[in-house]
Copies of this chain bind each other. A is one copy, B any other.
Amino acid sequence: MKKVETVKKSLRDYEALISAEKIEEIESLSRELKGARVLHINATAYGGGVAEILHTLVPLMNDAGLVADWAVIEAPGEFFELTKRMHNALQGKDDKMNKEDKELFLRVTRENAQRYSFGAYDYVIIHDPQPVGLPEFVDFGEARLVWRCHIDTSSPNMDFWSFLNNHLGYYDAGVFTLRDYAKDGISINNIVEIPPSIDPLSNKNRALRDDELKLAMKKLRVDVGRPIISQVSRFDPWKDPMGVVDVYRVLKEEFKGLQLLMIGAMASDDPEGWEIYDDLLRYAGTDYDIKVLSNFHGVAEIEVNAAQRISNVVLQKSIREGFALTMSEAMWKKTPVIGGNVGGIPLQVKHGVNGYLVNSIEETAEYTAKLLRDKELAREFGEKGHEIVKEHFLVTRHLVDYMRLFKSL
């Protein structure tokens, strides 16, 4: 186990972006929790949404007057292969946790526990399954223990779930993105819902300078004189990328100049991801108004930011979904959104207020057309979406939720 260094961040920088009430609430909670010692433990310092949020949350907790640390566990590659399988199995994938798997998991947990030497804390937040077994082997003293689960464990593979649930009895609270994601019979009594959040000052969400926007548009190869719809998400069948192409094809009849941007992050060690990517390109065929882009094309945070800004409508046509922060990202940029009526999407997208919830290709095409035709409606939805994110989905709200949770324990 080793500590992660973070870059200092200041709450003052967020003040212009949030409401006066939120600022007051943070200040009040800060006074009550001043000096409280907090330790976050997760599996990795870089890569993935959990590391991304901790790089912001941990510095902000410190700026709010708490003493927050962050540590990651250390393990050999085969442990992460196992926890990747565990991740999939907890979301329902068929698999079997054999004796060797269990031994490996416990061995790595014990080894990390033996190397624990960070002293005493008031609150220890353990993220996701990888470090879940630590409380059995580490003496955390008087600390209140929180398990922060970022995945949907409502219909898990029972083999993996039983193993996991055996470790949950140590925890004083279980935090889920949605309350429904906690499985019935979970060995934690106190289940708390804390949705994720976006950082409005990150490269993915901050305002862009003109030169940045210009360069990004070049990389995205879009013609801003013509309408643009986009979907930003992994190339994954549950995100229905082919369905999005079908929607585009229906719309292309009426909107001759329409462009579709499909942006996803790719990993070199993910053959399944490549298969979807390849299928998508083949399905798009030689229609170059469909742009399929990834990190391998030099598309990174600023380009995603720009894509969400310049799009007339941002889609997330998921059939199954965790939370889909891409909706909040687009909403923050005042872009109207259309999302599948699944997972965390209905929490963010209010049908007919800041976007539409859809269940089919036909509905998606119909509502997208409505927003492409009616600029005033699109503008209004965009404003509404921004307000919703400002109130509910910024990292400052996330910070407040954690501080409230600490107070309650």
Contact = CB atoms under 8 A, between A and B. Distances in A.
Interface of A: 268, 271, 274-275, 278, 281-286, 288, 292, 296-298
Contacts of A275: 297
Contact of A282 (B282, B296, B297, B298): B282
B286 A286 contact: no
Q: How many copies does the complex hold?
A: 2
A268 B268 contact: yes
A212 to B, nearest CB: 19
Contacts of A284: 282
A296 B266 CA distance: 10
A275 to B, nearest CB: 8
Contacts of A274: 296-297
A285 B286 CA distance: 8
20 contacts: A268-B268, A268-B296, A271-B296, A271-B297, A271-B298, A274-B296, A274-B297, A275-B297, A278-B281, A278-B292, A281-B281, A281-B282, A282-B282, A282-B284, A282-B285, A282-B286, A282-B288, A283-B286, A285-B285, A285-B286
A339 to B, nearest CB: 27
A361 B228 CA distance: 38
Contacts of A283: 286
A271 B295 CA distance: 10
Contacts of A282: 281-282, 284-286, 288
A10 B180 CA distance: 65
Counting chain B CB atoms within 10 Å of each CB, which of A285, A288, A296 scores highest? A296
Contacts of A278: 281, 292
A259 to B, nearest CB: 15
A166 to B, nearest CB: 36
A292 B277 CA distance: 12
A233 B326 CA distance: 38
Nearest to A287: B282
Contacts of A298: 271
A386 B283 CA distance: 41
Contacts of A296: 268, 271, 274
Nearest to A219: B271
A268 to B, nearest CB: 6
Given A281-B281, A282-B284, 8 more contacts: A268-B268, A271-B297, A274-B297, A275-B297, A281-B282, A282-B282, A282-B286, A283-B286
A242 to B, nearest CB: 11
A240 to B, nearest CB: 17
A368 to B, nearest CB: 23
Contacts of A271: 296-298
